[in-house]
Structures are given as structure tokens and as C-alpha cells.
Amino acid sequence: MKKPDSSDKEAEQLVAELDKTRQLLNKLKEEQRIRNNEQEHFAYVVSHDLKSPLASIVLTSEMLRENFGDAIDEGNDQLLQVLNRATFKIRNLADGILSYYRAERAMNEPPETFNLSACVQMIVETLRPGLSAEIHYPQEGALIHANKSALEQILGSLMHNAIRYNNKEKTILYIRFLEDEMFYYFEVQDNGKGIPVEDQQRIFDLFTSLGDDRSGIPGLGIGLSNVKKLVENEGGKIRVHSVLQEGSLFQFSLKKSNTLPGA
């Protein structure tokens, strides 16, 4: 029987070290997954527990107006307005915290095959309670293979902003889609108030706000930062073209991970 030489022993040691490293990486990956789940759960609980008393504050202020009506002088009415604005700002912050952690989780989701039009319609349904818009959907039957969770958050955030910050009597949205061998291309266009040229390069920075929404509540600048992070994590780019009082056009791409199964 041949005695193992030094090269055989070195190879065995290398294999053992690689196996040990692989086990360590798997352990770290699992620990990170657990931490991410815990952080998202924490954000959800904080968001839920904050919004419940905030809703009570808004309801109470509305009841005060109904019960006392004309007895509320201008000064006290302004105080109630300040209270409501502060309440909605805290609520938006709670939602922003939750969306931030959801974006972090979405970046680790695997690609899947799904119908784009059905995906957009599902996003619209989630926006339905505050939705008052004419929406033009992408072509029917388009199948794509991508990170669905990330795309839902990207489109959802862009559509939500287009509705929330629109100053027209009738909000109109166009959702468009194209593809080539390497990328999927998307457009979200609205007829809103537009974005000043000097702000178009920084709206994707964290905590950079688009201004006040229809209700006069300032944005927090979390949504578009999440959008940019998700797009770039999927190998794409995002840009905006906007004209004041005419509307904005957001264009982004997602790199194809591979071809559709069976293609």
C-alpha cells in the first residue's frame, strides 16, 4: 500500500479547511437571516403599536370638531391642525421604518417567474384605500423572471408617490415595460406637479423629501432611497425626467438573472 505523501496530506487539510469555512459561512448566513427576520418583526410591531394610538388621536380631534363646531375659535382650530399634522408625520415615519426593513429582506429573495400585469394589478389593490387614479397598465401576458418582492416594492413606492404628491384634479399613471436580452425596462409616468431640476439628482438620497403631499403632510424621504437601493441590488439603474406642473417619468432597469425556465 502506498504511503500518503505530503501533497496528499496538504490536499486533505485544504478540503477540511474549506469544509469548515463553508459550514461557518452557512452558520453566519442563517444567523443573519434570523436577525433580519427579528428586525423586520420588531419594525412591524413598532409600526403597528404606534399607528393604533395615533389613529385614536386623529379620531379624537375630529370628534372635538364635530362636538364643538363653531365653539372652537381660530387659535384652537390651528392647534388641532398642528396635532393632526404631527400625528400623520409620526405615522409616515412608522411606515417608513417598516418599508426600510422590508426592502432589506427583499434584496435576498430569489428570482421567480410571474405575470407582470397581474403583479401590477395586485399592487394597485394594496393602494386601493387611498387610490383615486386612472392607471394604464403594461401589456397583458408579459412573463418575467425576476425578484418579485423587490419589483413590487419598487413599483408600489413609485406609484404611491405619484398618487400621494399629485396636485391635479385627476391623477393619471402610465406603467410601461420593455425588455432586451440583458435587462427588463420599466417606466412609471404621472401627470403630477413635477420635481424641480435642482432636486432631481438628490431625491434618491435617504431623508430627502419630495415636499408636502395632497394633505399638506411632508414626506420623510425613505421610499425613493429604498427604490434606488433595490434597483441597484438587482443590477439596474434608475433615473427621473420631470417638468414642473406637467409630471414626472421614472425609468428603471433590472438585470435579467437568467432566461425563463424552458426557454
Residue where a domain terminates, one of 75, 104, 133 = 104
Q: Check residue 141 and give its pLDDT.
A: 76
- Pair (118, 206) in one structural domain: yes
Number of domains, the chain: 2
Amino acid at the residue 85: R
Is residue 153 within 8 Å of 106, Cβ to Cβ? yes
Q: Check residue 227 and give its pLDDT.
A: 94
C-alpha–C-alpha distance, residues 78 and 74, integer Å: 6
**Looking at residue 167, which CATH number applies to its domain?**
3.30.565.10
- Pair (156, 63) in one structural domain: no
Nearest-CA neighbor of 194 among 167, 229, 219, 218?
167
DSSP 71: G
Q: Check residue 262 and give its pLDDT.
A: 42
**Buried residues in 109-143 as b, exposed as e (16+ CB within 10 A):** eebeebebbebbeebbeeeeeeeebebebbeeebe
- Pair (141, 185) in one structural domain: yes
C-alpha–C-alpha distance, residues 186 and 117, integer Å: 12
Classify residue 221 as left (phi > 0), alpha (psi -120 to 50) or beta: left
Q: Is residue 156 part of a domain?
A: yes
Q: Is residue 1 part of a domain?
A: no
C-alpha–C-alpha distance, residues 149 and 151, integer Å: 6
- Pair (34, 71) in one structural domain: yes
Q: Is residue 117 part of a domain?
A: yes
Residue where a domain terminates, one of 70, 89, 104 = 104
C-alpha–C-alpha distance, residues 88 and 94, integer Å: 10
- Pair (243, 151) in one structural domain: yes
| pLDDT per residue as tens, the chain (263 positions) | 555 566 777 777 888 888 888 888 888 777 776 776 666 666 666 666 777 777 788 788 888 888 887 788 888 888 888 888 778 777 777 777 777 777 877 888 889 999 999 999 899 888 865 667 889 988 777 899 999 999 999 999 999 889 888 888 889 999 999 999 999 999 999 999 999 998 888 889 877 776 666 666 666 667 899 999 999 999 999 999 999 999 999 999 999 975 444 44
* Dihedral pair phi/psi, residue 222, rounded to 5°: -105, -40
C-alpha–C-alpha distance, residues 123 and 155, integer Å: 8
Q: Is residue 210 part of a domain?
A: yes
Nearest-CA neighbor of 92 among 100, 80, 81?
100
Contacts of 228 (CB under 8 A, 6+ apart): 204, 238
- Pair (214, 119) in one structural domain: yes
Domain assignment of residue 80, given as a range:
9-104
The reported pTM is: 0.70
C-alpha–C-alpha distance, residues 48 and 66, integer Å: 27
Q: Is residue 28 part of a domain?
A: yes
Q: Check residue 5 and give its pLDDT.
A: 61
Is residue 99 within 8 Å of 158, Cβ to Cβ? no
- Pair (91, 118) in one structural domain: no
Q: Is residue 2 part of a domain?
A: no
Contacts of 116 (CB under 8 A, 6+ apart): 138, 142, 143, 144, 177
